[in-house]
Structure 1
Amino acid sequence: MHDLPDGWTPGGPLNAGTLKTEYAVHPLGTDVRRPRLGWIATAPGFGATQASYQILVASSPELLTPENADVWDSGKVSSSRTFGIEYDGQALTPRTRYHWTVRLWDGLDREGSWAEPEWFETALLDEGWGTARWIGGTTDSAPLLRQAFTTDGTVKQARLYASGLGYADLRLNGQRISDAVLDPGFTDYDHTVLYVTHDVTDLLRSGDNVVGAELGRGFFGLTTPNAWRWHQAPWTAEPRLLARLVIEYDDGRTTEVVSDESWRITGGPTISDDLYTGETYDARRARPGWDTAGFDDSAWSTATVVDAPKGSLQAQAHEPIRVVETVRPTDITEVRPGVWIVDFGHTTAGWTKLTVNADAGTVISLTHGETVADDNVVAVNVHVEGDRIQRDEYIAAGNGIEEWEPRFSYKGFRYVQVEGITDRPDVLMRVVHSDVRDVTRFSSTQSSYEQFDQAMRRTVLNNLHGIPTDTPFMEKNGWTGDAQVGGPTMLATLDLARFFTKWLGDIRNSQAESGQLPVIVPSSGWGFTDLSPATEWPTVYPFLLREMHRSYGDERLLHEHWDSLTRYLAWELDRVEDGLSVSVLGDWLPPGFGSGPAPEDRRLTGTAYLYRALIAAAEIGDLIGKPNDYRKSAAELKDGLNRAFLDREAAVYKSGDDPDYRQTSNAVPLAFGIVPDELVRRVAANLAADVEARGFHLNTGCLGVGVLLPVLTAHGYADAATKVALQRSYPSWGYWFDLGADTMWEKWEEDSRSRNHYFQGTVVQWVYENVAGLRNLDAGWQRILVRPDARGEVDSATIRTDTIRGRVTVAWKRVSRVLSLDVQVPVGTTAEVHVPSAAASDVTVVPAPFASEASYEDGYTIYTVPAGLWNFTSRSA
């Protein structure tokens, strides 16, 4: 219980809401044998804490009482923990739904109400797939597979467990089984293959039924030659399906339909599908009713049992990819006879939906791109062979109004060039990405900051397709360096607990026997020697693990990855030379350096990032009780970096390769705590002086851009940071937006080859943490810092974040010299609030009795407060 003033008690009762299992609300199909449970504790008033909880798990909601719970009763457990609580009852059985609830006691031992019950359902666990087999066959196009079966009673429930590689569009009685697309998620198929659980109870009919699938290639069967050798991945094979349909009847009977050689197969209307080149669909080859009962499949072939992929089957736990928005064009222009350019008004990832009325055999092409030049949509990818990139083709059946949209590829685009029809095209933009949840809302009187937030949010989402990609326009690869610099902003914006848990598994799966990690994850084998070693990229592994603990308090994740993490760091440390880490990439794409790294010695940033990775690993070891020497190794790297690159007399970091002062070379050591204490002030002053000398412009690439403004602000140069942030001329974010950007770009130049790249957009982290003033300090938001220390050129800012402990809100507004600051702190969180003021006596707090004794330091009155809604008013901000 937080210490309360005499005579005050928290306004109870304390109750639990937003119950989740493995970070999900009612997950359908989990293979986790001891799933973790969590909730949000809430109470009116101030100072509430959770002192105890009791969890009940039962086979039905009606049994969720302490007297009747037939699966698990935790009893009253003395703990303030509200998440990551492992189920500890009897062994869970496969294909079973479990119901659970919880009640809480506060610090005064007052009992709350039982929470509204939630449920989770197990998948196959160790039961396996029975007689189901992987099936496929030789076809001249994307295969269609079908199986007819009958039901003969009242169905209680039915579940379809399925994996189609690369992607499966699953059907039952003429309807899509799920709204998920590009499913299941992309993995290293030699290590892990994901399957999905579907509730198909309501799709079954009494009597004759048909289950079917159309299969796409994805990265499993990609054939187009490309720079990353996805066409030569060790798992590359023709599409295949594994399915097990389990039907339970009211009378207790169970029947199954499984994938085997009794299924029928043929080539369908999707002539080709490729993640880079797009899809060709011949509507003349469509087979109406193929996925319904009564269809004559006698001309189809018998499916073939094929080899299973090497990877182990695992229930998909992260959010599926979905069509999340449909957008109408803002402009359609006929640039030449029969050639139309459609502008959708913003840059996205996804595809277009076509409606057309054309003669049979008419070929309509749709070429997708982010820019237009010389009256053509630009669709160029130098990394993929051939002249077809991001182009879909539809061949009309001639049956009147026809509608079509792709299912097995996505594109990065704003514009679509439509050819092959004379009438004005009827097309819609379909926005497609992993269906993760927004957790943060930001607003401000400074419109540029809102623009940054919206653009970065859109860019990140456009790059979430089961993995965090670099760009949906060109590569679609999981570049580790992009997630390294973008991770904190991404975690602050979206709920990525399940998404990043999955991708961290991909990182582990990509590890070589030597311990090395590639620069892209998953990898076909590319990225171990190509553009590698590049320390600043795969060191995302320990850093992201640490950030996941900071965001979600996830200790299981740390335990699960410790062995792989130590193998990786051993590989990195083994190649250190003269106290430095060799790297080939460095500060990628600073202004003026085309399509490559900055000119400075890349050992500087490589060593700095390895230093930070070792510190993160040391902290992880401390958290899970694993002794290590990582701090010692980090200190040796710190000394090596300072010996090689620090000019102590000038208080500047530089290398012999530098053409001028490099901001990244100085900002990164400051941000990572590498600068000797006695030189910190001078190194920061030199950095600020260079920024001013450049007219308040940055000269950073992707590594430096995210630390430059926070470092300037932390060392007393918030005004300089603000001027850089609000700069409108090249190079700056404002320069992009004045050119019409609505997303973050890869390069600072106008000719940026990708306009959907988040690694230069990490200014948003500074906006959240320094302008709005909210910083998460550790352990699942257990401690937060509220300090709006970049208030220039803005009169108000508000940030609202739904954390794993509950909602945190910081809202400040300034009128003249009076600043009002509202802070909402959830149960289980303690806030250190720094109120801008000339003296502690200038600040008032509501409610006054709850604020701890204030201290004063460097223009801020500092309070430590527990859960509640607080107002601080400063008369001298």
Structure 2
Amino acid sequence: MKITEMKCNRMVNPMGYTLNKPRLSWITEAEEAIVQIACQVIVAADEDFLDILHDSRKREDIDSIGYTPEIGLKPRTRYYWKVQVWTDAGDVVSSVAWFETSKMDEPWIGKWITPDWEDRSIHPLLRKGFSISKEVAQARLYVCGLGLYEAEINGKRVGDEYFTPYCNSYHHWMQYQTFDVTDLLGKGKNVIGAMLGNGWYKGRFGFKGIKENHYGDRFALLCELVIQYADGSEEIIGSDEDWKAAPSHILDSNIYDGEIQDANKYMESWSSDSADDEQWACVRLIDIDYHLLEARRSIPVRIKEKLKPVQVIHTPKGEVVLDMGQNMVGWVSFKTEAPKGSLIHLQYGEELQDGCFYRENLRTAKAEFKYISSGESAEVQPYFTFYGFRYVKVEGWHGEVRTEDFTGCVVYSDLEQIGHIETSNPLVNRLFLNALWGQKGNFLDVPTDCPQRDERMGWTGDAQMFSGTACFNMDCDAFFHKYLYDLAQEQSSIGGLVPHTVPSFGMSKKNENSFLSAGSSAWSEAATVIPWNLYLHYGDRAILEQQLNSMKDYVDYIRKQDDGKRLWNTGFHFGDWLALDGQGEFDRFGGTPTDLIATAYYAYSAELVAKAAKVLGKEEIAEEYGKLSVEVKEAFCEEFVTPRGRLAADTQTSYILALFMDLVPEKFRGRIVESLRKNLEDNKYYLKTGFVGTPYLCRVLSENGYNDLAYRLLLNEEFPSWLYAVKLGATTIWERWNSLLPDGTFGELGMNSLNHYTYGSIVEWMYRHMCGIQPLEDFPGFRRIRLAPQPNRMLQYAKASVKTAAGLYESGWRYEDESLRYHFRIPFHAEAELVLPYADIQNVVVNRAPLEQSPIKYDIRDDHVMMVLKSGTYEISHLIGK
């Protein structure tokens, strides 16, 4: 037995975060045990647990999915914790984990500083020297730099994160980070420094008229180096007027356009104690509101993987192009000894056209990197930009371009992959990987819609629609906590409506009929759907506590628009975005009436508010919004459903929403299911759905008796289908069903990303229905699940695993002659309600013994067998008909 995955607020040993009430979680791995008997959690001020601050004592009611110790937190303090678990097969004690608080409410001694020169485009280096005469026991750096910063102490980089202080609504709040820098200091002379780049804060960015200086027009730095000495004394070295400034070797940096470096201006010793800064310029104070500063919420962005180019291509135009073999996000680093003054020019793109480098689909984004060599040997990469790409055009290289000279650095938020899927179909396996790579590429601090063109923004609709899949693939709890906090901040200034993008970058104006206004059904539902998905997956009430007012405010905004008729038929809506049943080949809004979609989501969001309030014990709110949801559903039926159950709009998405969101009476469901089937038949069993209908399409089919059609849609290989892109060589999910045409050329270029994860939401169906791993609302965090795989002979086998908050689940099936064999794994102290379709009880074998002779409880319902599986591994088989 062992205890693993010890996390605080779903993070391992977090330092300097906004913790509020720390939520401790862990997983007990105990193959020889089945259930937890009791548990004890101890929190101490020291690693030896001599100074106990909290002791739960041995209790039966502690759940490893989340436990909050009663403890008053102090600023800049580390707390240690451990767990002991008693099981039916003995007990086990964990290792020691910790969490460390931020400055909390402590005032800042450091001051905001900026270079004392007029040209605000010059990228600065900032530094200060100081001396240490005593032994250092501990040192922490609390720092924020605008737009982006990279800190160094004594010539060594602080931490391994990129794009600090990250992307958020800077006019509402700014994050500072905390770093342990104890090992970077020494007796004698020391120096601390920082390099600044434009980033989102002041660089060229945005969607509503791309511009610079969205939030500020000057570089700025604020920091405090807090040194605790062995003798118990403390010294704080803060940013102030004594710092010095000099231009860095970065001539320009921009999220969209890339970076330009001149190595001839690089000062190798600028952050070491040997540097001479007498010729450096002064700095001056800058007025930035300290009340905006908050401890970090963003999890780190790091280089998570490294790839080598798979080949060097010499194109018909004579270009030299690196092929990374995978559409990725980050950059390529390289080693060079090019002659002094040489210009190495890299350009990034997603696809080749006619065998040549191409990037017209990036619109105005230059997506390039320029490096002017000093003649010295160097390892080079950008500091303050990233690219979405598979191909890199190389110009100005000295000598032969070789794959071994370049490395692809894959950069995204530090998310742990927890889910895996494999089937007998290689194309489906690639589809799963494409969705996973789309998540990697777009989960860079905010869930962006695309990582390559002049956009890269946190579109709410994309995030909402993919959030279920995201939580199966990766532990996204802390990642989405920060995004939703930003979302609530943006809401606060526009009356509860949710902007199209978070952060909004100016797209937060209430212009009722403008594409660039704030708010649209299905997009704004990020406020209600994502918190509920997080609660469902991680069992964490804290996200509902954090977001309930946001959820309510959004629904209240809609209620103010409905005129008492309980219909949402005002304002701008994206509709079923990029659906294929609209007017004309390139119509973006789809054929489903926008007021039908908006009203459907109105009912759904009100229901989610009621559910969240009920979880939190707020019964009056739950009753109010539950009643509102019922009223909206009744209005939906009056407006869009005939007295005999015919839906007003004959579109796949209309039927899908009516069924998935339970908008119609039970007596009409059969007709609507049949209408959906008939629509698919009329379209030769190909989908016509866009961003709204696609996430739920196969789920609705599998839940309503047409599992075979769900598989047929999954396995279609011609346009429009998921595998169409796979067969054309896609390594990520495309924005459009036909982003590339059958001949490999681009379709419409104005909006055509090859890394756009929304349609990857089919993966949630793979986890939930193909493999049957379904979380239950009454048991959030997967303590108890519904295990209901729905096999189909169109695949020979399928299997999935998910490392949930409760532990590792596995579910797989395989056809063998006339038998269907299942493999299941249920984690310690969990159970699953297993539903086996089409099984004759006399033919069911569990772990090589007939089910009727097994101690497992079972029930026969219609054509299903139901069992309750406790912790353990199960091999189950039964005969099937021909």
- TM-score, length basis structure 1: 0.92
Change in 2 beyond 3 A, CA 1:223/1:484: closer
Query: Which of 621, 630, 636 is residue 635 of structure 1 equivalent to?
Result: 630
- Residues 338 and 398 in structure 2, CA contact (< 8 A), matched pair in contact too: no
Which residue of the partner structure matches residue 606 of structure 1?
A: 598
Give, in angstroms, the shift of residue 43 of structure 1.
Answer: 3.3
- Which residue of structure 2 aligns with residue 658 of structure 1? none
Distance in 2 (alpha carbons) for counterparts of 1:663 and 1:172: 59
Counting aligned pairs with the same residue, the percent is 29
Q: Note the alpha carbon deviations across 1:362-398, whole angstroms, 9 max, x for none.
A: 33322211122356533346765xxx5212222222x
Q: Distance in 1 between matches of 2:450 and 2:540?
A: 29
CA drift of 1:153 comes to 2.4
Question: Which residue number in structure 2 is paired with residue 580 of structure 1?
Answer: 567
Q: Distance in 2 between matches of 1:864 and 1:137?
A: 70
Q: 2: distance between equivalents of 1:104 and 1:181? A: 38
What is the SS of the residue equivalent to 2:446?
Answer: coil
1:437 aligned counterpart, secondary structure? coil
Deviations 1:81-129 (A, max 9, x none): 223322213x3322222211122334x7x87233222122222122232
One-letter code aligned to 1:854: Y
Letter in 2 for 1:115: S
SS at match of 1:162: strand
Candidates 429, 435, 442, aligned match of 1:463: 442
In structure 1, the residue matched to 2:555 is 569
Measure the CA separation in 1 of the matches of 2:52 and 2:784.
38
After superposition, where does 1:54-453 map in structure 2 within 5 Å? 54-63=40-49, 68-89=50-71, 91-106=72-87, 112-138=91-117, 139=119, 140-223=121-204, 227=208, 229=210, 231=212, 233=214, 235-309=215-289, 312-335=292-315, 339-373=319-353, 376-380=356-360, 384=364, 389-397=366-374, 399-421=375-397, 423-425=399-401, 426-453=405-432
How far apart are the structure 2 equivalents of 1:671 and 1:146? 58
Task: Output one character per residue of 1:388-435: Cα deviation in whole Å (capped at 9) or x when no partner.
Answer: 5212222222x1433321111111111112223464334332211112
Corresponding position of 1:762: 761
Deviation, 1:148, is 1.0
Tell me if 1:866 matches 2:882: no
Corresponding residue to 1:536 among 514, 522, 532? 522
Does the CA-based 8 Å contact 1:31-1:124 persist in structure 2? no
The gaps in structure 1 that reach 5 residues or longer are 1-13, 656-660
1:520-577, CA deviations, whole angstroms, 9 ceiling, x for partnerless residues? Answer: 1011231443524411111121111111110111112212222232222111111125
Q: Deviations over 1:299-340 (max 9, x none)?
A: 111121112246632222442111122222222233378742
1:224, distance to aligned residue in structure 2 (A): 5.8
Instruction: Within 5 Å, give how 1:487-498 maps onto structure 2.
Output: 487-498=467-478
Taking the aligned partners of 1:288 and 1:38, their CA distance within structure 2 comes to 44
Report the AA paired with residue 878 of structure 2.
S
| Alignment RMSD (CA, Å) | 2.3
- Closer, same or farther: CA 226–300 of 1 in aligned 2, 3 Å: farther
How far did residue 459 of structure 1 move? 0.4
- 1:759 alignment partner AA: T
Cα shift at 1:513 = 4.5
CA distance in 1, matches of 2:406, 2:629: 55
Aligned partners of 1:837 and 1:875 also within 8 Å: no
What SS class does the counterpart of residue 294 from structure 1 fall into?
Answer: coil
Say whether residues 1:667 and 2:662 are aligned partners: no
- Structure 1 residues 786-825: aligned runs within 5 Å: 786-825=787-826
The answer to which of 822-831 and 206-215 deviates more is 822-831
Matched-pair contact (CA < 8 Å) for 1:275–1:409: yes
Is the Cα–Cα contact under 8 Å of residues 207 and 505 in structure 2 kept in the other structure?
A: no
Contact 2:431/2:723 (<8 A) preserved = no
Q: Distance in 2 between matches of 1:232 and 1:601?
A: 38
Q: CA deviation at 1:358?
A: 3.2
Give the match's secondary structure for 1:478: coil
In 1: Cα distance, 2:372 partner to 2:354 partner: 27
Question: Deviation string for 1:140-167 (max 9, x for gaps)?
Answer: 5211111111121222121111111221
Matched, 1:623 2:615: yes
- TM-superposition CA deviations, 1:18-70 (whole Å, max 9, x none): 322221221122342531212223434464134x322222222222xxxx443
Which segments of 5 or more consecutive residues in structure 2 lack a partner in the other structure? 741-745
Show the counterpart of 2:743.
Answer: none
Q: Secondary structure at the match of 1:77?
A: coil
Matched, 1:729 2:710: no
Range with greater deviation from structure 2 (833-842 or 640-649): 640-649
Tell me, yes or no, if the aligned pair for 2:115 and 2:282 is still in contact at 8 Å: no
1:232 and 1:28, CA in 2 relative to 1: closer, same or farther beyond 3 A? closer
Q: Distance in 1 between matches of 2:783 and 2:577?
A: 35
DSSP-derived class of the 1:288 partner = coil
The alpha carbon displacement at 1:467 in A equals 0.7
Q: 2: CA distance between counterparts of 1:342 and 1:159?
A: 41
Please tell me whether the aligned partners of residues 706 and 763 of structure 1 are also in contact (alpha carbons under 8 angstroms). Answer: yes
- The alpha carbon displacement at 1:707 in A equals 1.1
Amino acid at match of 2:792: R
Deviation by residue 1:678-724 (Cα, 9 ceiling, x = unmatched): 12112112212222332221111111111111111111111111111
Supply the distance in 2 between the matched residues of 1:375 and 1:367 (Cα, whole angstroms).
16
**Match of 1:553?**
539
Rounded to whole Å, the distance in 1 between the matches of 2:855 and 2:556 is 47
Further displaced range: 478-487 or 775-784:
775-784
CA apart distance, 1:852: 4.7
Inter-partner Cα distance in structure 1 for 2:766 and 2:223: 48
How many Å apart are 1:136 and its aligned residue?
Answer: 4.3
Number of residue equivalences:
845
Alpha-carbon shift at residue 232 of structure 1 (Å): 5.4
Equivalent residue letter for 2:836: V
Q: Distance in 2 between matches of 1:117 and 1:456?
A: 36
Offset from partner CA, 1:215-258 (integer Å, 9 cap, x none) = 1111111246753556353x223221111111122222222211
Moved more, 413-422 or 753-762: 413-422
Q: What is the CA–CA distance in structure 2 between the aligned matches of 1:25 and 1:464, rounded to whole Å? A: 19
Give 1:378's aligned amino acid: Y
Please report how far the alpha carbon of residue 866 of structure 1 lies from its aligned counterpart in structure 2 after TM superposition.
2.5
SS for the counterpart of 1:590 is coil
State the 1:261 CA deviation. 1.0
Alpha-carbon distance, 1:756 to partner = 0.2
SS at match of 1:603: helix
Quote how far apart the aligned CAs of 1:207 are.
1.1
The question of whether the paired residues in 2 share the 8 Å contact of 1:158 and 1:248 is answered with yes
Distance 1:259 1:721 in 2: 60
Contact 2:316 2:356 in 1 (8 A): no
Q: Find the aligned partners of 1:238 and 1:863 in 2 and give their Cα distance.
A: 64
d(CA) in 2 for partners of 1:681 and 1:498?
Answer: 41
- Whole-angstrom distance in 1 between the partners of 2:657 and 2:43: 49
- Pair 1:611–1:433, CA change in 2 (3 A): same
SS of aligned partner of 1:85: coil
Q: Is the 8 A contact 1:261 1:305 kept in 2?
A: yes
1:133: Cα distance to partner? 3.7
Residue in structure 2 matched with residue 6 of structure 1 by the alignment: none
1:560-618 Cα offsets, whole Å, 9 max, x none, are 22223222211111112543213420111123742621033111111112211111111
Deviation at 1:648, TM superposition (A): 5.3
Residues 856-875 of structure 1: CA distance to partner in whole angstroms, max 9, x if unpaired?
A: 23432111223222332223
TM-score normalised by structure 2 residue count: 0.91
CA distance in 2, matches of 1:863, 1:606: 40
